[in-house]
Amino acid sequence: MNANAKQKILALLKNTNGYISGEEISSHLGITRAAVWKHIRALREEGYAVDSVPNKGYRLESIPDLVTPEEILDGLQTKQMGRSVYFTDSTDSTNEEAKRHALMGVPDGSLFITEEQTMGKGRLGRVWTSPKGGGLWFSILCRSHLSPLQISNMTLITGLAVCRAIRSETGCEVMIKWPNDIVIGSRKVCGILTEMAAEVGKIEYVIPGIGINVNIPSFPKELALKATSLQIETGKPLRRAKLLQAVLVELENALAAFENAPEQFPDEYRRLCVSLHKRVRFFRNGEPRDGQAVDISPEGELIVQEDNGEIASIYSGEVLVQGIYGDSF
């Protein structure tokens, strides 16, 4: 079956107010009425509710919550980001998908997205729970001009973009826990894992991998205290493709701004960073060190005034924040 014709029929249905006749569709696309019917049936199987009435034709009644290329590209307002979509029903990890495709020369801004990850990755070998259909599990391949040092800010810029998008799409007052968590209150709604490949002094590619808990009604016991979803917070399910489009736009803008002026770390990040002005604990050589988070440096480091009076600049790693996910120390 011609997938392109199916996409065109979907676009026609979306752009028609009311019914469109089978005859009109078939003459518009130059295919038979029987072929139109087959495509309509395929769309219904995917979850599109298409009403059909004799002598009137077809009408799209509702759109399922899909993250297929058709739904992502429909109305996407970016120049490059997310314009090539690699969608799978299930995969090990979208970061791994992106790495495999990077070797095949796919374009800058390619999006790798899946309904379910069977080996979703957190940092430091941890697991990211990615149930089917409940979230936005995706990675973006960026062939950046930044230096490996500047790239350490990628996670922070991505977090800022996700934060902006969730705020504008849902009104949820999400905050950033430095460096890679997006939280609502004291629970995590999104995690970011950035991976990169570099030669000496030159970036080959960088892959921000983003997991957003969207339509997850509840979490298993071991996560229930530290995880939340947008559905839990707002009380209703959300169209994932629409939120994703907003993230892609924000990410494209935030990255462009950062590439133009890498020395100007956005003040907005500081305002949205829940770790700042809190008691924090970090680790040096396995030893816990406590203090107060006082600033983010222009390079994106967390600056901590330690209890012993020293000032520490933390570049990466785990930082516990008192009051978040029940961190206590």
Token pair 């298993």 is at which residue?
220
Packing angle, helices 22-29 and 33-46, rounded to 10:
100
Residue selected from 211, 262, 291, 300 as contacting ligand BT5 according to rule CB under 6 A: 211
- Tokens encoding 268: 């907005």
Residue selected from 6, 99, 177, 188 as contacting ligand BT5 according to rule CB under 6 A: 188
Residue selected from 57, 82, 191, 300 as contacting ligand BT5 according to rule CB under 6 A: 191
Token pair 């956005």 is at which residue?
266
Task: Give the SS3 label for residue 142.
Answer: strand
- Which span (129-137, 146-154, 198-206, 267-275) binds ligand BT5, by CB under 6 A? 129-137
Distance from C-alpha of 166 to C-alpha of 215, rounded to nearest angstrom: 13
Element (H, E) at 13: helix 3-14
Residue selected from 68, 110, 117, 170 as contacting ligand BT5 according to rule CB under 6 A: 117
- Which span (46-54, 180-188, 239-247, 263-271) binds ligand BT5, by CB under 6 A? 180-188
Rank residues 36 and 227 by Cβ distance to ligand BT5 and give the closer one: 227
Rank residues 31 and 232 by Cβ distance to ligand BT5 and give the closer one: 232
Asked if 178 interacts with ligand BT5 (CB under 6 A), we say no
- Tokens encoding 302: 């967390």
Asked if 209 interacts with ligand BT5 (CB under 6 A), we say yes
Distance from C-alpha of 240 to C-alpha of 230, rounded to nearest angstrom: 10
- Tokens encoding 84: 């090539």
Contacts of 226 (CB under 8 A, 6+ apart): 186, 187, 188, 325, 326
Sign (positive/negative) of CA torsion 126, 130, 136, 142? Answer: positive
Residue selected from 6, 66, 93, 144 as contacting ligand BT5 according to rule CB under 6 A: 93
Residue selected from 110, 152, 155, 180 as contacting ligand BT5 according to rule CB under 6 A: 180
Distance from C-alpha of 95 to C-alpha of 246, rounded to nearest angstrom: 20
Asked if 82 interacts with ligand BT5 (CB under 6 A), we say no
Contacts with ligand BT5, 276-305, as mask; x by CB under 6 A? ------------------------------
Asked if 123 interacts with ligand BT5 (CB under 6 A), we say yes
Q: Which residues here bind ligand BT5, judged by CB under 6 A? A: 93-95, 117, 120-124, 126, 128-130, 137-139, 180-181, 188, 191-193, 209-211, 213, 223, 226-227
